[in-house]
Structure 1
Amino acid sequence: MALNPVNPDTTVDIDAIRQIVSQNFPESLDQLIALARIPSVAWESFDASKVQESAEAVAALAKSVGFDDVRIATAPTDEGKQGYPAVLARKPAAEGKPTILLYAHHDVQPPGDRALWDSEPFEPELRGDRLFGRGAADDKAGVIAHISAVRALEVAMPGHGLGISLFIEGEEEAGSPSFRNFLEENRADLAADVIVVADSANWAVGTPALTTSLRGMVAGEFEIRVLEHAVHSGMFGGPVLDAPLLAARLVASLHDDDGNVAIKGLLSKEEADVDYDDAQFRSDSSVVSGYQLAGTGKLTDRLWNKPAISLIGLDMVSVAESANALIPSIRGKLSMRLAPGQDAAAAGAALKKHIESLDLRGAHVSFKLTEEGSSYFQDAENDAAARLMNDCLRDAWGTEPVNTGIGGSIPFIADLKELYPSAHILITGVEDPDSRAHSANESLHVPEFEKAIVAESLLLARLANNGLGE
């Protein structure tokens, strides 16, 4: 049916926006499925041409919703390698109108073990209310949410005058190695009054969320050497504790008996307004029956406001290839999440000091930091854009939104804040706790996806109408 455009001189008609999104939603879903079929993994061991193909598909989508200034661009990493392709598209603002930057990423995680998937990772499959496939949620749904919201705005308010910039990154899952240089090279084109980062998650199916804090992170690698070479475990075992046994002592030292991080000097807060139901968390995280959760305090504080440390890699002999020999050396990788407000460099130094001060019987121990990223915190009650976004979420879902933290990290948020200090940053998302981003059987809750598009469409329409009302 024909829909009447919204009068830009009056209050935005929520029902009209919802109808426009609903009418176009089959197309939005088809576009997501087509985009998710492209295996755009931005890792050196995967086919880089697929990331280029994905960028070209995104550029075509941008043109389809009225962007005339569209280009695919790259920037070098700090090591001099050329980064993976991103898509930039712009609609200049009319006089007196604000500009909004819409960010998402079109690259995806590797699929991992095919045997763990119930369907082909890059053949999206609808089962019930969920669309399964790699990138269906993280973050190609974010890309299509932006495209669909711009489409809805153009139908609802032709001649709206809102400035819109689209920035769809192509290497977020690889750590955004060229992100800062990309910002520097395209600084003017990316300048905005409001920045929407569609790469987070909602509180639950039926309850939207605005992400207002992110933990920072540091990562590092340790190496322990006990012997110059492997020796017979029967002939020499006893006086010598080999490298894996000493690594076990190192890893055990990272937490106290309650499971709290035991690195001295790290910031830890207890200030979450909401809590995570214990049974729901156990279900969402898939812990086995009887497992005792680590740490103390609210689960939300343990996830958002306190440090966490994980052993994410260990190089040693596999069980299948094991021999009766003492293992001379071992290498491991640690990933540590940091409370908002924690200086990443100071946290890395504290971790390094902790490891190097351990008594590991004189074994040769080395540790090097490999990555760090800053945390993020937003005072949503005193931020005009956050208040507006919460209004849009409330109207789209019909329920009260939650301001949440995220246990994960998006380090480039700090780059955005540094280069665009006056911009309001909104971290939104289309995922839910069962989306399983980065895991096998990643999925998107389709009805929630439509609501996310409605919320962003309302945000664009209200910014076009009244700006931030500041």
Structure 2
Amino acid sequence: MDHLQALDKYFTENRETHLEQLKDFLRIPSISALSDHQGDMQKAAEWLLESFKQAGLENLSIDKTDGHPVVYGDWLHAEGKPTILVYGHYDVQPVDPLNLWESGPFEPEVRDGKLYARGASDDKGQVFMHVKAVEALMKENGSLPVNVKFIIEGEEEVGSPNLEKYIEENKEKLSADIIVISDTGMYGPGKPAICYGLRGLAGVQIDVRGAKGDLHSGIYGGGVQNPIHAIADILSSFHDKEGTIAVEGFYDDVRPLADEEREAYRALNFDEEALKEEIGVNELFGEKGYSYLEQTWTRPTLEVNGVFGGFSGEGIKTVLPAEAGAKITCRLVPDQDPEDIVRKLRAHIEKHKPTGVTVTVSEFDKGKPFITPFDHPAIQAAGKSYEKVYNVPTAFTRMGGSIPIVAAFDEILNLPVVLMGFGLSSENFHAPNEHFHLENFDKGLRVIGDYYYELSEFTKDDLNK
């Protein structure tokens, strides 16, 4: 019996036990954003530590931070073999609006081959799979084909405010050859994907102030600058009519898209017509010269997320508002720097601000973009493991979203990152009725177990070229 057959046998025989264990994990309302759940966060960390122990991991600890703790465990007896650092999170999003849930968010329920609960897909279910893959290999063989370290945090859903400091302070403890993260998705049902790039983020708020208070638009209108008109002028200056960003120097550091990447995206045969129908628009709109996937995965953006000011209640109020504003986020690509982009935004706003108002810019979330060459051996090995189990070619993709801590791992530990997800975009993570397709739970367990064997074929030097 080869190792994949042994894994299949183990996971088949223990499926119901594993599902019940996962349900126990999902019953813990570990909502990091709400202080009322402080005790639940500790309970989830303790539950995870016990699962590490049962799986055969060693050097177990619940490490304090300035916020919620980090759970650590390792197994380091595969002499001469690579070391994998597995990252994930045990915290979950709030559940509001509660009335839209068909079953309790912390009362796990299987319906139509899907496990419903908050955290089922993001990220408790996927973290649990890595723990059970280790358990399976330890039960079957008494050892692992590679060395592993687990670092599972409790603050991802609130921006990981304390993890970067933790990584800096524990560089030696966290030293490894690659980082594996299962907190992303597949390309589609039955279509596995390895994500090798994420966009970064830079967010600002623009506040425009006119008169010291709201004015009567009949008495003052036409003689005093209107802050809403002013913010509209600023916002319209950010793009040309074809959607290209007009901020000076915005594209200076953008890394060109390689021909082989473009060809790989074309081979995915993305259905733009189906997308338009799904989201309810009659046309797509974006930077000229790039496909939709290229626009959303590999090109930077500047989006207006919200505009505020003046009267918006029922009826009409003849007011000339004293203030208005807008919230902006930019998605960034290699090799753009969030600090540099914010400086360029400030310069652009200063250049284009109308007379008669005061404009201030406040900075918010920032995160650097991340990319690992998709021909890296660790990424290609992950693709092989997917293909063995799913029996289809693996797609190599980037993602339009941002996971800032991924770039921090890359920068601080200087290691390749393998984003090896099993979720689907339709699984309502962060929304009511979050769920996880059990087909991907079952297959994912086998993929992860096989991946550890695939990586054992490499030397440390192979993975750190």
Q: What TM-score do you get using the length of structure 1 for normalisation?
A: 0.87
Which of 438, 450, 454 lines up with 1:458 in the alignment? 450
Q: How many residues align?
A: 450
Contact 1:126 1:132 in 2 (8 A): yes
SS at match of 1:188: coil
In the alignment, structure 1 residue 160 sits paired with structure 2 residue 144:
yes
Which of 14, 38, 46 lines up with 2:4 in the alignment? 14
Counterpart in the other structure of 2:382: 389
CA distance in structure 1 between the partners assigned to 2:14 and 2:461 by the alignment: 30
Shift of 1:261: 3.2
Root-mean-square deviation (Å): 2.6
Which of 26, 39, 42 lines up with 1:49 in the alignment? 39
- CA deviations 1:286-322 (Å, max 9, x no partner) are 5224354444321111111111233335555684589
CA distance in structure 1 between the partners assigned to 2:44 and 2:265 by the alignment: 38
Map residues 192-231 of structure 1 onto 2, 5 A cutoff.
192-231=176-215
Counterpart in the other structure of 2:82: 98
CA distance in structure 2 between the partners assigned to 1:45 and 1:159 by the alignment: 40
Moved more, 85-94 or 291-300: 291-300
Contact 2:204 2:362 in 1 (8 A): yes
Which of 23, 30, 40 lines up with 2:20 in the alignment? 30
Letter aligned with residue 442 of structure 1:
E
- CA distance 1:25–1:323, shift in 2 (3 Å): farther
Moved more, 121-130 or 347-356: 121-130
Counterpart in the other structure of 2:406: 413
Shift of 1:401: 0.3
Letter aligned with residue 167 of structure 1:
I
Moved more, 167-176 or 88-97: 88-97
Contact 1:356 1:366 in 2 (8 A): no
- CA distance 1:122–1:333, shift in 2 (3 Å): farther
Contact 1:304 1:406 in 2 (8 A): yes
Counterpart in the other structure of 1:442: 434
SS at match of 2:194: strand
Counterpart in the other structure of 1:266: 250
Counterpart in the other structure of 1:401: 394
Counterpart in the other structure of 1:430: 422
Letter aligned with residue 344 of structure 1:
P
Contact 1:38 1:122 in 2 (8 A): yes
Counterpart in the other structure of 1:72: 62
CA distance in structure 1 between the partners assigned to 2:392 and 2:341 by the alignment: 39
Shift of 1:254: 2.7
Contact 2:28 2:106 in 1 (8 A): yes
Counterpart in the other structure of 2:336: 342
Shift of 1:46: 5.2
Counterpart in the other structure of 2:280: 288
Shift of 1:343: 2.2
Contact 1:105 1:142 in 2 (8 A): no
SS at match of 1:52: helix
CA distance in structure 2 between the partners assigned to 1:154 and 1:295 by the alignment: 51
Letter aligned with residue 117 of structure 2:
G
Letter aligned with residue 171 of structure 2:
R
- CA deviations 1:438-460 (Å, max 9, x no partner) are 23333222201222221111112
- CA distance 1:435–1:257, shift in 2 (3 Å): farther
SS at match of 2:302: strand
- CA deviations 1:22-59 (Å, max 9, x no partner) are 33333333333332232322225653222222212211
Counterpart in the other structure of 1:380: 374
- CA distance 1:354–1:320, shift in 2 (3 Å): same
Among all aligned residue pairs of Structure 1 and Structure 2, give the percentage whose two residues are the same amino acid. 29
Counterpart in the other structure of 2:273: 279
Map residues 311-326 of structure 1 onto 2, 5 A cutoff.
311-314=304-307, 316=309, 319-320=312-313, 324-326=318-320
Shift of 1:415: 2.3
CA distance in structure 1 between the partners assigned to 2:435 and 2:350 by the alignment: 42
Structure 2: gaps (5+ residues): none
Contact 2:100 2:432 in 1 (8 A): yes
Which of 324, 335, 359 lines up with 1:330 in the alignment? 324
CA distance in structure 2 between the partners assigned to 1:414 and 1:239 by the alignment: 50
Contact 1:55 1:87 in 2 (8 A): yes
Contact 2:200 2:369 in 1 (8 A): yes
Shift of 1:234: 4.1
- CA deviations 1:316-363 (Å, max 9, x no partner) are 568458955332123432211012222222222222222222132331
- CA distance 1:68–1:298, shift in 2 (3 Å): same
Letter aligned with residue 455 of structure 2:
L
Structure 1: gaps (5+ residues): 1-5, 7-11, 76-81
- CA distance 1:291–1:298, shift in 2 (3 Å): closer
- CA distance 1:259–1:49, shift in 2 (3 Å): farther
CA distance in structure 2 between the partners assigned to 1:439 and 1:289 by the alignment: 22
- CA distance 1:328–1:212, shift in 2 (3 Å): same
- CA distance 1:359–1:96, shift in 2 (3 Å): closer
Letter aligned with residue 366 of structure 2:
E
In the alignment, structure 1 residue 58 sits paired with structure 2 residue 48:
yes
CA distance in structure 2 between the partners assigned to 1:123 and 1:323 by the alignment: 48
CA distance in structure 1 between the partners assigned to 2:374 and 2:82 by the alignment: 20
